[in-house]
């Protein structure tokens, strides 16, 4: 997921807002407009701080190779960068490196920029990129990003302990590194891991120990525009400008990443304690009217879903094992989807910021299948009841709740996150929807879970977890690997389907017919995959999201994208 790009092209618009003045239309500037823009840029005075808000505690794993959630990405984005960036058309573009492929697209050579410095003053070299690949391919690595390295020739053998080096990695010189992949992939630049790690700084710390080391938790470094000054675990990170940043010093003196109570977002934005944040959707009608706020909405490459747990992740075999038959009946899963009025949920709790979807690609993706070709799972409680009857789930004791086909009590544990003032109501909406068709659903453990406990419980395959409401942020390329393969740790619903794995892998291969358009070929493959997932329904796809950003009018230079915000070195205080 991240990965990827989660990735698309012609149907997306990235909003670039320079909030010191009115939004500028995209296109070619007229000469007089260009002069005015240059004049404004010259008038920007450095200095000041901006506070970036978020509503869930961060874990503090401040390494891209090891982080697990948006909570830590929000910090990492200010302090570190990769070799490859994504442009406004959501295509890969050079950042810290340029590249070239050989004729058959099995070898890519990266040429790093010279003079890029880590926050401790050491220069970035190709060895740091090599080191990152070795960390992720290490047999002791417990993170979720091996799929972004697995395509490198010899990486799997190294991970399995069958080789003492990765065959496909070759250092040419201090700034050049050559990578040979197992087979050509159309989206290699989207998927290959491209974020270096500081080899000189981590020293001899093992891959397994790094996520808990002081170098990652207390004194992390990167090559980005801001460096860490102070960390209050789970609450706040203070960044200061890094004057040797490769694109020149940032305009701001610093940035503060602050965790807040989501229910207080409106007030904190109004009084200026928070300058920039992804606004809680349940407060958006009020937040967007605040006099000191520039409201920005954009279609997001993200969606929420209800996961239906069907097994566990075997950490030794590195694959999903489907050994929980409780939800194996497809009619049961279909009924659970038909029982929920997803549009009513979006209207009530997200103030219309989104719409239902039925596959794991938002409508902005070029790979999204036409709705006419898939089941829409419209809200239809009577159909849900009929499907349950057909599947043998009937109320045999007259208590209003259905038993399973063997006549045993049937309950559904539901997990959801705390964090906003409507979190409890959201969870109860889903629970009551199922109860209304006779499914005895209840909140697992009797209460909501905070962000970290929620995901920790799911990832640990806690046997009490059966269904859960979560979300994914995607990347520009639609490749589902990283989330949907049977070998993916982030396959949270623990679903394995041989045909699904086959199609996912096929979708990143070049077509056998060299004359066939690659994008059209991939559309066909992903259409078949979406039909499969839509029918099997291992998760209930809930809603594709529209992000709503609140940006204080005193802050300029903020670029809003379908992923997050960007161009942090250009943020500035508006006089």
- Of 366, 256, 295, the C-alpha closest to 15 is 295
Torsional sign, CA 257, 262, 266, 270:
negative
Side-chain-side CA neighbours of residue 501 (13 Å):
11
Lowest mean pLDDT among 50-54, 214-218, 232-236, 366-370: 366-370
Please give the pLDDT value at position 290.
98
- Residue 42, pLDDT > 90, answer no
Q: Rounded to two decimals, what is the model's pTM?
A: 0.73
Q: What are phi and psi of 94, to 5 degrees?
A: -60, 140
Residues in the chain: 575
Read off the pLDDT of residues 550-565 as tens digits, 9 standing for 90 and up: 999 999 999 998 888 9
Please give the pLDDT value at position 254.
98
Please check whether residues 306 and 202 belong to one and the same domain.
no
The mean pLDDT value for 444-454 works out to 94
* Helices 330-338 and 381-391: angle between axes, nearest 10 degrees: 160
The residue segments making up the domain with residue 499 are 300-546
DSSP 201-239: HHTT--TTTGGGSHHHHTS---SSSEEEEEEETTTEEEE
- Residue 9, pLDDT > 70, answer no
* Block residue for tokens 């038993």: 403
Number of domains in the chain: 2
Residue 11 resides in a domain: no
- CB environment 15-30: b (16+ within 10 A), e (fewer): bbbbbbeeeeeeeeee
Read off the pLDDT of residues 245-289 as tens digits, 9 standing for 90 and up: 999 999 999 999 999 999 999 999 999 999 999 999 889 999 999
Please give the pLDDT value at position 40.
53
User: Which token pair is 330?
Assistant: 């497809």
Other C-beta atoms closer than 10 Å to the C-beta of 215 total 17
Other C-beta atoms closer than 10 Å to the C-beta of 38 total 11
Boundary (domain end) residue, out of 190, 208, 226: 208
Residue 464 resides in a domain: yes
- Residue 17, pLDDT > 50, answer no
Residue 153 resides in a domain: yes
Residue 569 resides in a domain: no
Residue 265 resides in a domain: no
Please give the pLDDT value at position 535.
98
- Residue 41, pLDDT > 60, answer no
CATH code for position 192: 3.90.76.10
- Residue 361, pLDDT > 80, answer yes
Residue 248 resides in a domain: no
Please check whether residues 502 and 377 belong to one and the same domain.
yes
Residue 64 resides in a domain: no
Please give the pLDDT value at position 10.
25
Query: For residue 490, what are the CA distances in angstroms to 216, 268, 291, 482?
Result: 22, 34, 41, 7
- Residue 478, pLDDT > 80, answer yes
Rounded Cα distance between 304 and 327, Å, is 20
CATH code for position 389: 3.10.105.10
Helix (H, G, I), strand (E, B) or coil at 124: coil
Boundary (domain end) residue, out of 162, 181, 208: 208
- Residue 8, pLDDT > 50, answer no
């Amino acid at each position: 997921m991240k990965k990827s790009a989660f990735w698309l092209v012609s149907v997306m618009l990235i909003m670039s807002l320079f909030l010191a003045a009115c939004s500028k239309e995209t296109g070619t500037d007229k000469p007089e407009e260009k002069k005015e823009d240059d004049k404004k840029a010259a008038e920007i005075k450095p200095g000041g701080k901006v506070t970036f808000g978020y509503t869930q505690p961060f874990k503090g794993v401040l390494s891209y190779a090891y982080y697990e959630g948006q909570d830590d990405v929000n910090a990492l984005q200010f302090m570190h960068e990769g070799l490859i960036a994504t442009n406004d058309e959501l295509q890969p573009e050079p950042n810290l490196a340029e590249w070239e492929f050989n004729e058959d697209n099995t070898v890519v050579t990266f040429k790093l920029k010279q003079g890029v410095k880590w926050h401790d003053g050491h220069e970035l070299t190709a060895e740091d990129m090599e080191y990152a690949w070795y960390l992720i391919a290490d047999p002791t690595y417990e993170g979720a990003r091996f799929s972004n390295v697995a395509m490198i020739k010899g990486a799997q053998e190294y991970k399995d302990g069958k080789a003492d080096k990765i065959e496909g990695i070759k250092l040419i010189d201090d700034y050049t590194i050559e990578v040979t992949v197992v087979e050509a992939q159309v989206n290699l630049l989207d998927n290959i891991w491209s974020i270096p790690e500081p080899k000189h700084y981590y020293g001899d710390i093992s891959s397994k120990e790094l996520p808990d080391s002081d170098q990652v938790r207390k004194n992390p470094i990167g090559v980005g525009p801001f460096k860490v000054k102070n960390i209050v675990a789970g609450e706040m990170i203070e960044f200061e400008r890094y004057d040797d940043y490769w694109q020149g010093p940032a305009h701001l003196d610093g940035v503060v990443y602050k965790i807040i109570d989501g229910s207080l977002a409106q007030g904190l934005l109004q009084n200026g304690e928070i300058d920039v944040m992804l606004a809680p959707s349940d407060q958006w009608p009020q937040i967007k009217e605040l006099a000191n706020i520039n409201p920005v909405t954009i279609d997001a490459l993200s969606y929420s879903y209800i996961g239906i747990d069907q097994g566990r992740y075997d950490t030794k075999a590195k694959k999903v094992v489907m050994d929980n038959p409780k939800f194996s009946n497809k009619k049961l899963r279909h009924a659970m989807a038909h029982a929920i009025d997803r549009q009513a949920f979006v209207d009530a709790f997200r103030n219309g910021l989104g719409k239902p979807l039925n596959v794991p690609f938002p409508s902005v993706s070029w790979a999204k299948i036409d709705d006419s070709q898939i089941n829409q799972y419209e809200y239809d409680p009577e159909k849900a009841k009929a499907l349950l009857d057909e599947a043998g789930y009937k109320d045999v004791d007259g208590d209003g709740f259905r038993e399973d086909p063997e006549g045993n009590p049937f309950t559904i544990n539901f997990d959801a996150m705390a964090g906003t003032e409507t979190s409890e109501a959201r969870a109860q909406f889903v629970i009551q929807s199922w109860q209304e068709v006779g499914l005895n659903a209840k909140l697992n453990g009797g209460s909501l879970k905070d962000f970290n406990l929620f995901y920790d419980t799911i990832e640990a395959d806690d046997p009490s977890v059966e269904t859960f409401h979560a979300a994914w942020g995607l990347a520009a390329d639609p490749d589902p690997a990283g989330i949907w393969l049977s070998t993916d740790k982030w396959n949270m619903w623990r679903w394995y389907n041989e045909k699904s794995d086959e199609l996912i892998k096929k979708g990143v291969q070049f077509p056998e017919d060299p004359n066939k358009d690659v994008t059209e070929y991939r559309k066909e493959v992903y259409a078949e995959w979406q039909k499969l997932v839509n029918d099997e329904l291992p998760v209930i796809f809930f809603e594709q999201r529209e992000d709503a950003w609140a940006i204080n009018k005193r802050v300029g230079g903020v670029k809003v994208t379908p992923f997050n915000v960007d161009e942090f070195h250009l943020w500035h205080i508006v006089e």
